[in-house]
Structure 1
Amino acid sequence: MTELELKYGCNPNQKPARIFMEEGDLPLKVLNGRPGYINFMDALNSWQLVKALKKATGLPAAASFKHVSPAGAALGLPLSDVERRIYFAPEGELSPIACAYIRARGADRLCSFGDWAALSDVCDGDTARFLAAEVSDGVIAPGYTDEALDILKAKRKGGYNVVEIDPNYEPAPIERRNIFGITFEQGYNSLDISEEMLQNIVTENKDLPQQAKHDMLLSLITLKYTQSNSVCYVKDGMTIGVGAGQQSRIHCTR
């Protein structure tokens, strides 16, 4: 499939709307629902974030996106008893990818209301059950178990957006976009954020624990996919504050 018709563009009056490939097939499938223009902007940006996090840390990662910026992002680390209570997590053992999304959404549950979810790993039943109970517009992942897909297809009276993306897809080296009929062109931002960036420690204390490295990578990668001005605070493998798009850097920090 080279193109996909969308419900409408950024606003209901902006029709027709579509996503398409100039060459080859789209690297994604809509398994349920009918995502719109902004849905796909959130989906594709959030997927890049979690894919980069998984590559940088080796851990499952998830993000909760709103308005083309992350409301939260996190790694798939176990939930403490306190975290379970404040993030409304279900009882019992949970998969790492479910923990990742629960922590990502828990970073800012107010901003995550009506979010787009992104998962670095296959969506399983644990993750789907948590998503089913939350107000969310859709999810993107490299795959879904049969159980997860059945759960998600029943959400929002069958209208919940479920997108599957090819995890091996790589974009073209040059990207373009149009603004007011004028085409902009630039190289794709393929900067690889990895532990190699953390070698030059300028403080007297040269000890940088692995957990701190993961937190720094999480913050740097989150900021890469956040509309500026942007500030990101991270603790224990999850964002605890992401300031995005404010005109004032002072208010962004607050």
Structure 2
Amino acid sequence: MDLRYGTNPHQAATITPTAPGRWPVRVLHGHPSTINLLDALHGWQLVREAATALGRPAAASYKHVSPAGAAVAGPVDEVAAELYGIAGCGPLTSAYARARDADPKSSYGDLAAVSHPVDAELADLLGRVVCDGIIAPGYAPGTVATLAAKKNGRFLVLEADPAFTPPARESREIFGLRLTEDRDAAPLTAALLGDADLPPGAAEDLLLGLVVLRHTQSNSVCYLRDGATLGIGAGQQSRVDCTRLAGAKADTWWLRRHPAVRALDFRPGVRRQDRLNWQVRYLEDDLTPDESARLAAALATPAPGFPAADRGAWLALRRGVAFVSDGALPFRDNVDHAHRHGVRYIAEPGGSARSAEVEAACREHGITLSRTGLRLFHH
């Protein structure tokens, strides 16, 4: 198959199946690029594994070969329901809305992945958000036509083969060398969490986190609650930078629920994505002079500054957050930062030179620690 282009538009690219004639995915509409396919293939693996592990429909919002958010079906709170216009939605739509709402700024122009066939409700939501394509194991009648009309007919619709079994070994070629290794197929089950005293919801969140990080560029960590990611930190050279980055995203997710943010009075005609972006920049509290002027123009009523005391008090209300790391926590600073973001449960491989200090920090903060013994690096 000829691709639209490779990693960049100036690179021509093709793709062939490793077993002649055996494709794990087929194009129903559109013309994918290399990154489109990488996002789709990683996203499909994540949602299929998450749905199997947790027994609920799963969804992910992919950008640049890492998820911006992932979730299983569950309740959609008032903020997300109002934002996406989906009160009382079905399970698959709830999974995608919760996945996209983890980091809606980053999900702009995402590749959506869902574990179950797309229904009319999800197709309608996808038609109303800025999304570049979707991969799913099937499509209800009429939904492909609905989706194909997006982006002036350039929306990408991919169908995954749920019966496809990937080869046990995978290869890639880089600079004249072919690297071959076993596919990472280690089972991800609750048994990895050991005998830690975990409520069922926390165990599910940690398990979902393990699945998410298996398909996220390393180094990576994620914060989760109620079957959805709140913040994912990916591809950083320093693990504590991942922890802080993902923690800031988790804070933003929670602060978007604050009454002062919900009360921002945007003028009619300000688009959904622009409202979201302005909410995030308002919370980040470092607007440039140009941004300050443009935000003022977007608001019908001037917005007061967000008081630091209100920020701290609101963040203190957050409880029961889970935190997962794809590699061993090398220092206790990761635990200290995670604690600031409401973390009560941590899962990490263990085995670092300072694991005893990490464990002591968890005891100090009242955090339940699960040592999985399984590293989940992904590159």
Whether the TM-score (by the shorter chain) exceeds 0.5 is: yes
Three-state SS of the structure 2 residue aligned to 1:70 is strand
Number of aligned residues? 244
Q: Does residue 96 of the first structure (1) align with residue 91 of the second (2)? A: yes
Candidates 34, 38, 49, aligned match of 2:35: 38
Report deviation, 1:132: 1.0
Q: Take 1:231 and 1:23, find their aligned partners in 2: how far apart are those partners?
A: 37
Q: Is the 8 A contact 2:5 2:34 kept in 1?
A: yes
Q: Take 1:154 and 1:244, find their aligned partners in 2: how far apart are those partners?
A: 33
Candidates 15, 22, 37, aligned match of 1:18: 15
- Partner amino acid, structure 1, of 2:210: L
Candidates 147, 156, 172, aligned match of 1:161: 156
Q: Does residue 67 of the first structure (1) align with residue 87 of the second (2)? A: no
| Structure 1 pair 21–247 and aligned structure 2 pair: CA distance change class (3 A) | same
**More deviation, 241-250/181-190:** 241-250
Candidates 175, 191, 196, aligned match of 2:191: 196
Q: Is the 8 A contact 1:5 1:19 kept in 2?
A: no
Three-state SS of the structure 1 residue aligned to 2:184 is coil
User: CA RMSD of the aligned region, Å?
Assistant: 1.3
**Which residues of structure 2 form unaligned runs of 5+?**
245-379
Report deviation, 1:91: 4.0
**Which residues of structure 1 form unaligned runs of 5+?**
none
Candidates 4, 9, 23, aligned match of 2:6: 9
Q: Does residue 76 of the first structure (1) align with residue 66 of the second (2)? A: no
1:226 corresponding residue in structure 2: 216
Q: Take 2:208 and 2:140, find their aligned partners in 1: how far apart are those partners?
A: 27
Three-state SS of the structure 2 residue aligned to 1:5 is coil
Q: Take 1:213 and 1:24, find their aligned partners in 2: how far apart are those partners?
A: 40
Candidates 241, 247, 252, aligned match of 2:237: 247
2:334 corresponding residue in structure 1: none
Q: Take 2:65 and 2:100, find their aligned partners in 1: how far apart are those partners?
A: 15
Report deviation, 1:229: 1.1
Q: Is the 8 A contact 1:46 1:65 kept in 2?
A: yes
Q: Take 2:195 and 2:89, find their aligned partners in 1: how far apart are those partners?
A: 37
Question: TM-score when scaled to structure 2?
Answer: 0.62
CA deviation map 1:184-234 (0-9, x unaligned): 000011011112222321xxxx2x222112111111111111111111000
1:28 corresponding residue in structure 2: 25
Three-state SS of the structure 1 residue aligned to 2:11 is coil
Q: Does residue 184 of the first structure (1) align with residue 179 of the second (2)? A: yes
Q: Is the 8 A contact 1:54 1:60 kept in 2?
A: yes
Q: Is the 8 A contact 2:168 2:182 kept in 1?
A: yes
Structure number with higher relative contact order (C-alpha < 8 Å, ≥ 6 residues apart): 1
**More deviation, 14-23/45-54:** 14-23
Q: Which has the higher helix share?
A: 2
Q: Is the 8 A contact 1:60 1:75 kept in 2?
A: yes
Q: Does residue 126 of the first structure (1) align with residue 121 of the second (2)? A: yes
Q: Is the 8 A contact 1:6 1:19 kept in 2?
A: no
**More deviation, 90-99/101-110:** 90-99
**More deviation, 182-191/15-24:** 15-24
Q: Take 2:180 and 2:86, find their aligned partners in 1: how far apart are those partners?
A: 49
Three-state SS of the structure 2 residue aligned to 1:50 is helix
CA deviation map 1:152-209 (0-9, x unaligned): 01111111000001111110001000000100000011011112222321xxxx2x22
Q: Take 2:194 and 2:212, find their aligned partners in 1: how far apart are those partners?
A: 20
Q: Take 1:138 and 1:33, find their aligned partners in 2: how far apart are those partners?
A: 9
Q: Is the 8 A contact 2:13 2:34 kept in 1?
A: no
Alignment map for 1:130-149 (pairs within 5 Å):
130-149=125-144
2:262 corresponding residue in structure 1: none
Q: Take 1:91 and 1:194, find their aligned partners in 2: how far apart are those partners?
A: 32
Q: Is the 8 A contact 1:124 1:147 kept in 2?
A: no
Report deviation, 1:92: 4.0
Q: Take 1:91 and 1:230, find their aligned partners in 2: how far apart are those partners?
A: 31
Q: Does residue 172 of the first structure (1) align with residue 167 of the second (2)? A: yes
Q: Which has the higher strand share?
A: 1
Three-state SS of the structure 2 residue aligned to 1:18 is coil
**More deviation, 220-229/7-16:** 7-16
Runs (4+) of structure 1 exceeding 6 A deviation are none
Q: Is the 8 A contact 2:80 2:97 kept in 1?
A: no
CA deviation map 1:34-85 (0-9, x unaligned): 1111100000001100011011000000000111001000011121324313
Three-state SS of the structure 2 residue aligned to 1:40 is helix
